[in-house]
């Protein structure tokens, strides 16, 4: 009798040992996936570096048909569109976060938060579709330009795609500012408005930086909407009026061209090379974003 | 009292900013619903496309997206929930754990098109799966992991420590505590995370471009090694790649995709708020 119980217990322990080992493996799997992704990008992308000289790779002409793989116009295109998006999304997002967290009456909060979640859920191809059919014609007509598919159109759409991230992270940052900060501001005779801008927002600065960085990462990696509304012209955007001209981003280039290249060709490897650039860029942006969180925790003052 | 006028003006501006964020969302949804309603019918949803997709319905694309989402769920749920249990219940605060957290942040930040490249390089070519539902679902599953893990971990951590202590004091092992106490309590939160992850997978286009999506394939997928059409890619194709495509069909497709994704969103919200209200701790 006793022996049987012991055997059952041993059996259960053995079963648990297997389950727990399995869970441990699953826990570590995310590290494995990041490494695998980087490994396969390298495997398919690195050959471009010994197939094509660097002067070509970092040149200003992207014409794969003539074996010209200058990534500079694509890189600048991505940066230009992303900067445009952040310039729109930063003030809107921070203001909305402040409004939701500090000012809005309850009913407005109940409406705003689900709406922002809805925005986060809209597929980028649907936003791109809307951009093509509604936003681009509007921009074309107001500017009298030959096309509405411009850097500005892309930046505008991207701003709205980055907004949910920026708003929710900035809101968390404002949430983390202790109530005593606000009380102190008000007790000094400052208005609520003065307290918000001179005490609360500065105290949440590092969190807001994180919000903007994460939004930027989101914007630079966006593919479908950007491809559908920025016009896809691989030109160097050198002057400011390029804002209302077509451009082409790294993501759109991969998406548009990968379907048509022969596997193993220089063009194929070049597209993976762009993937490496994107991977490293977003990695750096995320590291900076997260390190500001860590810094805040280490200082330990705010929570 | 001028500074109170400054405050009033400032609050008004903040309100305007919030309005500028929300109003366009309503416009987007409004326009797509109004324009799409005319096109969507039972036949539109259940018919094969024909005449170069200019006539007929979107049945294979809709089924393709549902199959892909199901496949993603089959892969992502065990990995995501297992990984979450490890992080919330087993992991101690060591540098390895910090590496895992960093990896999750990075997975969340990797552009969707890079997932597409990875899927092409690893699943389609290296593992010789070809452009198939299997390759697409695996790619999408890895992409949805960070969403599932971060939402589910919050749910596990919200279960009070006393529950674990009581379970242990009654002689339960750690795993029994997790299996019979923690997981059931955290289930609504886990389900919310899974739905949020899957809704992202259902709406994404870039990761499936080179791993599974077929331009035009008017039949239902037969096996996991088949290609398939998918709604987001179909919308991209008919709105940019096919000249002379009737606008009606484009709007109808956009509406079906939007409705699918938003209804999943609504489901997640309802589950979350319902269980939050019912919770007794």
- pLDDT tens readout for residues B81-136: 999 999 999 988 889 999 999 999 999 999 999 999 999 999 999 999 999 999 99
Cβ contact B7–A193 (<8 Å)? yes
- List CB contacts (< 8 A) between A193 and chain B: 3, 6-7, 10-11
Q: pLDDT by residue (tens digit) across B217-274?
A: 888 888 888 899 999 999 999 998 888 888 889 999 999 999 999 999 999 989 988 8
**Are residues A32 and A80 both part of a single domain?**
no
- Rounded CA-CA distance A127/A301 in Å is 41
Number of domains within chain A: 2
- Scored b (16 or more CB within 10 A) or e, B109-123 reads bbbbbbbbbbbbbbb
How many other CB atoms sit within 10 Å of the CB of residue A18? 10
Q: Comparing A17-21, A259-263, B274-278, which segment has the lowest mean pLDDT? A: B274-278
The ipTM is: 0.92
Average pLDDT, chain A: 88
Q: Assess A92–B contact: CB distance below 8 Å, yes or no.
A: yes
Smallest Cβ distance to B254: which of A13, A129, A194?
A129
Residue A25 shares a structural domain with residue A151: no
- Identify the pLDDT of residue B110: 95
Q: With respect to residue B25, please indicate whether it lies within any of the assigned structural domains.
A: no
Question: Are A157 and A184 part of one and the same domain?
Answer: yes
Burial A230-251 (b: 16+ CB within 10 A, else e): bbbebbebeeeebebbbbbbbb
Range of the domain at B212: 57-278
A33 lies in the same domain as A59: no
Average pLDDT (A133-157) is: 89
> Same domain for A111 and A157?
yes
In the numeric block, the tokens 């005779």 are attached to: A189
- Mean local confidence (pLDDT), B64-81: 96
Residues B79, A26: C-beta atoms closer than 8 Å: yes
A132 and B10: CB-CB below 8 Å? no
Same-domain check for residues A39 and A119? no
pLDDT over 90 percentage in chain A: 59
Residue whose token pair is 């910090």: B98
Find chain A residues with C-beta within 8 A of B24's C-beta. Answer: 160
Q: What is the mean predicted confidence (pLDDT) over A254-272? A: 91
DSSP string, chain B: -HHHHHHHHHHHHHHHHHHHHHHHHHHHHHHHHHHHHTT--HHHHHSPEETTTTEE--HHHHHHHHHHHHHHHHHHHHHHHHHHHIIIII--SSHHHHHHHHHHHHHHHS-HHHHHHHHIIIIIIIT---SSHHHHHHHHHHHHHHHHHHHHHHHHHHS-HHHHHHHHHTT--HHHHIIIIIHHHHHHHHHHHHHHHHHHHHH--GGGTTTTB-SS--S---STTS-B--HHHHHHHHHHTSTT--HHHHHHHHHHHHHHHHHHHHHHHHHHHHHHHH---
Of B231, B202, B229, whose CA–CA distance to B215 is shortest? Answer: B229
Reported residue count of chain B is 281
Instruction: Please tell me the predicted confidence (pLDDT) of residue A259.
Output: 86
**Do the chains contact at B109 and A224, CB–CB below 8 Å?**
no
* pLDDT higher than 80, residue B174: yes
- Asked if residue A1 has pLDDT above 70, the reply is no
Which of A48-62, A71-85, A280-294, B45-59 has the highest mean predicted lDDT (pLDDT)?
A: A71-85
CATH number, domain containing residue B160: 1.10.3720.10
> Within a domain: residue B29?
no
**Does A193 contact chain B (CB < 8 Å)?**
yes
pLDDT band, residue A301 (cuts 50/70/90): very low
- Whether residue A156 is found in the same domain as residue A94: yes
Give yes or no for B203 touching A (CB within 8 A): yes
Residue A61: predicted pLDDT = 87
Counting the structural domains of chain B, the total is: 1
Interface test mutation site (partner A, options B18, B32, B209, B257, max chain A beta carbons within 10 A): B18
- Per-residue confidence at A294, pLDDT binned at 50, 70, 90? low
pLDDT at A295 over 60: no
Q: Read off the pLDDT of each residue in B39-66 and give the average, rounded to a whole number.
A: 87
Confidence at residue B246, expressed as pLDDT on a 0 to 100 scale: 86
B82 within domain boundaries = yes
Candidate from B85, B113, B261 with C-beta closest to A223: B113
Chain A residue with minimum CA distance to B202: A123
Q: What is the pLDDT of residue A7?
A: 56
Instruction: Please give the structure tokens belonging to residue A199.
Output: 């005490």
Beta bridge partners of B228: B213
Report if residue B24 sits inside a domain.
no
More confident residue, A241 or A29: A29
* Residue A97 near residue A170 (C-beta atoms within 8 A): yes
> Which residues sit opposite A63 in a β-bridge?
A68
Model pTM score: 0.91
* CB B44, CB B57: distance < 8 Å: yes
Chain A contact for B33 (CB, 8 A cutoff): no
Average pLDDT over residues A211-232: 92
Q: Is there a domain that residue B37 lies in? A: no
Residue A97 has pLDDT above 50, yes or no: yes
Rounded to an integer, the average pLDDT of B162-170 is 90
* Residue contact B240–A228, C-beta within 8 A: yes
Q: Which two tokens stand for residue B87?
A: 């992080």
Q: How much is the pLDDT for A10?
A: 59
Return the bridge partners of A69, or none.
A62
Q: Decide if pLDDT at B187 tops 60.
A: yes
C-beta atoms of B110 and A112 within 8 A: no
Closest CA in chain B for residue A229: B240
Segments forming the whole domain that contains residue A254: 53-299
The yes-or-no verdict on residue A45 having pLDDT over 90 is yes
Q: Is B252's Cβ below 8 Å from some Cβ in A?
A: no
The pLDDT assigned to B48 comes to: 86
Across the interface, whether the CB atoms of B117 and A251 are under 8 A apart is answered no
Chain A residues with CB under 8 Å of B11 CB are: 99, 103, 193
Q: Could you read off the pLDDT of A156-185 as tens digits, one per residue?
A: 999 999 999 999 999 999 999 999 999 999
Closest CA to B260 of B113, B35, B45: B45
Contact A231, A256 (CB under 8 A): no
Instruction: Indicate if A34 and A78 belong to the same structural domain.
Output: no
Query: A95 and A13, same structural domain?
Result: no
């Amino acid at each position: 009798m006793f022996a049987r119980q012991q055997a059952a217990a041993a059996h259960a322990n053995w079963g648990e040992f297997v389950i727990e080992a399995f869970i441990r493996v699953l826990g570590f799997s995310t590290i494995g996936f990041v490494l695998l992704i980087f490994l396969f990008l390298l495997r398919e992308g690195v050959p471009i570096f010994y197939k094509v000289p660097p002067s070509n790779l970092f040149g200003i002409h992207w014409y794969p048909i003539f074996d010209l793989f200058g990534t500079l116009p694509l890189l600048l295109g991505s940066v230009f569109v992303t900067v445009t998006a952040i310039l729109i999304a930063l003030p809107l997002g921070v203001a909305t976060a402040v409004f939701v967290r500090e000012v809005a009456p309850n009913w407005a909060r109940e409406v705003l938060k689900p709406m922002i979640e809805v925005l986060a859920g809209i597929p980028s191809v649907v936003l791109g579709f809307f951009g093509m059919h509604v936003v681009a014609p509007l921009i074309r007509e107001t500017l009298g330009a030959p096309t509405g598919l411009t850097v500005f159109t892309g930046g505008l759409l991207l701003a709205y795609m980055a907004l949910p991230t920026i708003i929710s992270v900035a809101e968390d940052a404002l949430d983390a500012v202790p109530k005593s900060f606000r009380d102190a501001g008000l007790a000094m005779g400052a208005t609520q408005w003065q307290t918000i801008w001179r005490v609360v927002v500065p105290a949440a600065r590092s969190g807001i930086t994180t919000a903007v960085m994460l939004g930027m990462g989101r914007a630079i990696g966006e593919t479908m909407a950007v491809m559908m509304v920025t016009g896809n012209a691989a030109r160097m955007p050198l002057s400011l009026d390029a804002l209302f001209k077509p451009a082409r981003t790294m993501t759109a280039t991969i998406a548009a061209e990968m379907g048509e290249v022969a596997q193993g060709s220089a063009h194929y490897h070049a597209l993976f090379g762009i993937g490496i650039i994107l991977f490293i860029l977003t990695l750096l942006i995320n590291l900076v974003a997260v390190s500001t969180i860590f810094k805040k925790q280490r200082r330990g003052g705010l929570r | 009292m001028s500074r109170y006028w400054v405050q009033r003006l400032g609050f008004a501006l903040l309100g305007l900013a919030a309005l500028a964020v929300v109003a366009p969302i309503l416009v987007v949804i409004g326009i797509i619903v109004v324009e799409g309603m005319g096109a969507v019918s039972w036949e539109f949803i259940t018919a094969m496309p024909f005449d170069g997709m200019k006539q007929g319905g979107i049945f294979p694309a809709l089924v393709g997206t549902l199959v892909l989402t199901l496949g993603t769920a089959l892969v992502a749920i065990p990995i995501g929930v297992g990984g979450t249990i490890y992080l919330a219940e087993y992991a101690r605060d060591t540098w390895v754990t910090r590496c895992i957290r960093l990896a999750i942040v990075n997975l969340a930040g990797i552009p969707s098109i890079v997932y597409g490249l990875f899927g092409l390089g690893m699943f389609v070519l290296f593992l010789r799966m070809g452009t198939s539902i299997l390759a697409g679902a695996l790619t999408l599953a890895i992409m949805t992991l960070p969403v599932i893990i971060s939402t589910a971990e919050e749910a596990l951590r919200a279960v009070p420590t006393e529950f674990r202590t009581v379970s242990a004091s009654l002689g339960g092992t750690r795993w029994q505590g997790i299996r019979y106490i923690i997981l059931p309590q955290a289930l609504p939160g886990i389900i919310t995370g899974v739905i949020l992850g899957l809704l992202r997978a259902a709406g994404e286009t870039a990761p499936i471009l080179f791993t599974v999506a077929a331009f035009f394939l008017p039949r239902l997928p037969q096996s996991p090694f088949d290609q398939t059409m998918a709604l987001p890619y179909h919308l991209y194709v008919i709105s940019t790649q096919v000249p002379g495509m009737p606008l009606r069909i484009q709007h109808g497709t956009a509406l079906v995709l939007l409705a699918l994704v938003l209804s999943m969103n609504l489901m997640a919200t309802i589950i979350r708020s319902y269980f939050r209200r019912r919770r007794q701790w």
